[in-house]
Amino acid sequence: MTKTIMGIAKSGNTTEEMKRLSEIEGVPVEKIREGIASGRIVIARNIRRESIRTTGIGEGLYTKVNVNIGTSGTLVDIEMEKKKTHIAVKYGADTIMDLSTGGNLDEIRRVLLKEAEPLPLGTVPVYQAWIEGVKKYGGVSFPSEWFIEIVERQLRDGVDFMTIHSALSLELARKAVASTRIMPIVSRGGAMLAVWMLENNEENPFRQHWDYLLELFREYDAVISIGDSLRPGTIMDQHDELQVTELIEAARQVKQAREHDVQVIVEGPGHMTLDQITSNITLMKKLTNNAPYYVLGPLVTDIAMGYDHIAAAIGGAIAAAHGADFLCYLTPAEHLSLPTMEQVKEGLVAARIAAHAGDIVKLGKRAYRRDAELSVYRARLEWSKVLEYAFDIEKAREIYAQFPLSTRGCNMCGQYCVFLLLDKLLKKPALKQ
């Protein structure tokens, strides 16, 4: 049997991918190999895709940012979704996920796999299994094998990582719908699975066929992202028994996946107050022996509608600083609508700022080198250089020039710019190598 990259790392060998990741991240290749071997680092890619960037997620690496795109059941515009992938690539996303629930899902996925290059692409296969299963079987009484068939179809297409809601059990689903939570289940995939399990009185298909799933992901050397079906959808439901029990089960599955040389990450909250984020990450890392952690936000307040990308960036920065490895962006349209192209850009830029702010704490000098360089150019009033460091260069240039310029400074301070006032007295700052 062909070895996965994790199996190769466990044997003590180094691949070209590991070497490329070492160069990209500025981390010794031995650390990369050790991280992959232990499951603390994953490389998101399916062996069927050759035209994608080597993207590592995990311990000691830069925090990565994912962009969600995709159609909805009420709005199917594949051209708009293609444009969103281009925005994601242009503005620095590390990965893209296709969350489509409307239209020809196979066709849309295959188009977006191509449009997303060179970025890895992920999916949530339970969406397609549910939507097409209901149509095919005339209701929710379709066989558990149907879910696995969809996973296999998507792996054959080249999907690099998938959210698999395998930590949600029938028992937990029953507890969730009978709970006093304000929002019992806010994960769309988790809700679909819960309904299927409760209607059929049958265990989660991903749990029933877990061993075969591991074989599939091993064959394609893709990454399992264990979904958090019971993540809190409001800060009122955070860190309750349901959330923690599912996390414990996810940790058990992480161990099993590693034993089969399958790369795996874990998904996390969700809505969570500022003071709980650090403890959540500490608990997750302890339970999973430092598996890569993929968090949605976290959103630190429930009432930021229209500005949820900011609420998520606040939580994301704290999460990244304390060990989260992968941030899923939110847009201003979260909880309100399918996002526009401009809203995708706004959400991505906010998440990238959060990831970088966290990395300054987590990685130190490796991360803040660009901040130091920018500061020197700013002190020199070298605007052409300063603007190149913006997360959105076009917007920074537009704002800088939005009023007529009459001094070497900007129009905030004008002729009273501190660097103009002190120009003759200060020694010019130098860039440190």
Q: Is 259 exposed, middle or buried (0-12, 13-18, 19+ CB in 10 A)?
A: exposed
CA distance 394 to 416: 26
What's the confidence (pLDDT) of residue 1? Answer: 58
pLDDT in tens, 360-385: 999 999 999 999 999 999 999 999 99
SS3 300: coil
- H helices within 26-77, ranges in order? 29-38
> Do residues 87 and 345 lie in contact, with contact meaning Cβ atoms separated by under 8 Å?
yes
What's the confidence (pLDDT) of residue 158? Answer: 98
pLDDT in tens, 183-223: 999 999 999 999 999 999 999 999 999 999 999 999 999 99
What's the confidence (pLDDT) of residue 315? Answer: 98
**Cβ within 8 Å of residue 100, ≥6 positions away:** 70, 71, 72, 81, 108, 109, 112, 127
What's the confidence (pLDDT) of residue 432? Answer: 62
CA distance 125 to 141: 18
Residue ranges of the chain whose pLDDT lies below 70: 1-2, 428-433
**Distance of CA 139 to CAs 10, 49, 143, 191, 201, Å?**
45, 35, 11, 15, 15
Q: Where are the beta strands (DSSP E) in 207-332?
A: 223-226, 264-268, 293-296, 326-328
How many other C-beta atoms are found inside a 10 Å radius of the C-beta of residue 249? Answer: 19
Burial track 195-231 (b if 16+ CB lie within 10 A, e otherwise): ebbeeeeeebbbbbbbeebbebbbbbbbbbbbbbbbb
What's the confidence (pLDDT) of residue 424? Answer: 80
What's the confidence (pLDDT) of residue 51? Answer: 87
C-alpha gyration radius of the chain: 23
**Distance of CA 202 to CAs 169, 196, 213, Å?**
10, 8, 18
CA dihedral 334, 358, 240, 168 (to 10 degrees): 70
